[in-house]
Structure 1
Amino acid sequence: MGKKVKQDLPLHKVIMVGSGGVGKSALTLQFMYGDFVEEYDPTKADSYRKKIALDGKECQIDILDTAGQEEYAAIRDNYYRSGEGFICVFSLCEFESFHHTQDFKDQISRVLDDDKIPFILVGNKADLVQNRKVNYNDAWARAEEWNCPYFETSAKTRLNVEEVYIVLMRKIQERKDIFKERERRNKKPKCMIL
């Protein structure tokens, strides 16, 4: 009787998207290990898994950190299909990367055909105030238009890093709870006439 039954923890699949060099990997590694990585080889996508407590309940987060240069649409689309929530990152110091967030949002919406997928817009490199090119109001307005939260982060100082992942996981969990409830209600006995 002393055998402990292994319990499957809920798993939340998060995909990091954004242009190359905006700090997707730095944010992911800061969240996973509490380390700031200045130099990172962005040539491939990496996957990370971590057990965390979300609102007092244990769960796992699986983060797919895309390389930012998914030239092959088929590979990119497969990444998107596997996601339950997305963190779309741009650099506050590079207007072009902010401009490209619309492309990522459009691609995700097209592949998933779902405008309610949990999504967070993130302006990274908030510590580099002197180099800022994207103003807060523009980024906030885009998040409003997309009906999603907006955070400004710094992978270097850890500003809002934890919060971004926690908020997204809550959104993923809420969505799963809604689907479970719908499924439960739809499991009414069915009769067949032969």
Structure 2
Amino acid sequence: SESSDSEGSWEALYRVVLLGDPGVGKTSLASLFADPTLIQSANTTTKEDVYERTLTVDGEDTTLLVMDTWEAEKLDESWSQESCLQVGSAYVIVYSIADRGSFESASELRIQLRRTHQADHVPIILVGNKADLARCREVSVE
């Protein structure tokens, strides 16, 4: 978390980065976590959409920035490694239960994140998305 001191008030800032293969539902999840208002649209410099939500946790105001990364084919490798994997306070790795390849990619992303944050205790949350496609399931519940 980071703090900003404006008029004597302290506010925590948490960056939650959504990662995963194209089409797994990252943008849908971003809209659930954050207010529907997009505060920063994707552009060639940031390569992400950023959604913001202010929460009160234990009586303290907290700002949650949900960073919805562009699809993998739009990211250059250096930006992905140097920025995406380093800027988060927490990471949500999303895969589709109807796409075994996206699950395997999620495993690789977790390994990359653990290497990047070896000494840190950065939360990494794995989300199996698209449960409505249960008939097309390629990833077992186990």
* Alignment TM-score, normalising by the size of structure 1: 0.58
Report if the CA contact (8 A) 2:11-2:60 is conserved: no
Is 1:19 aligned to 2:21, yes or no? yes
1:82 maps to amino acid: V
Residue equivalent to 1:63 = 66
Are 1:54 and 2:60 matched, yes or no? Answer: no
Select the structure that is richer in strand: 2
Residue 53 of structure 1 and its aligned partner are, at CA, apart by 2.2
Seen in structure 2, the aligned counterparts of structure 1 residues 104 and 114 have a Cα distance that, compared at 3 Å, is farther
Q: Which residue of 1 aligns with 2:76?
A: 72
Map of 2:39 onto structure 1 = none
Greater Cα offset, 54-63 or 85-94: 54-63
Which structure 2 segments of 5+ residues have no match? 1-6, 37-41
- Counterpart in the other structure of 1:88: 93
Helix, strand or coil for the counterpart of 1:110?
helix
Give 1:11's aligned amino acid. L
Structure 2 distance, partners of 1:114, 1:104, is 17
8 A Cα contact 2:35 2:53, kept in partner: no
Which structure has more RCO (C-alpha within 8 Å, separation ≥ 6)? 2
Superposed CA deviations along residues 65-119 of structure 1, whole A, max 9, x for unmatched, are 1123164232112122111110000001111100111111122222333463211
Q: For 1:63 and 1:113, how far apart are their aligned partners in 2?
A: 23
Separation of aligned partners in 1, 2:75 and 2:31:
24
Q: Larger Rg: 1 or 2?
A: 1
Q: Secondary structure of the residue that 2:131 maps to in structure 1?
A: coil
Identity over aligned residues, as a percent? Answer: 29
Q: Which residue of 2 aligns with 1:118?
A: 123
Pairwise mapping of residues 21-170 of structure 1 onto structure 2 (< 5 A)? Answer: 21-33=23-35, 44-69=47-72, 71-76=75-80, 77-114=82-119, 116-137=121-142
**Deviation at 1:131?**
1.9
Aligned length: 128
SS at match of 2:21: coil
Query: Pairwise CA RMSD of aligned residues?
Result: 2.5
Gaps of 5+ in 1: 35-40, 138-194
Deviations along 1:41-83, one digit per CA (max 9) or x if unpaired, are: 9x94211121012344321101111123164232112122111
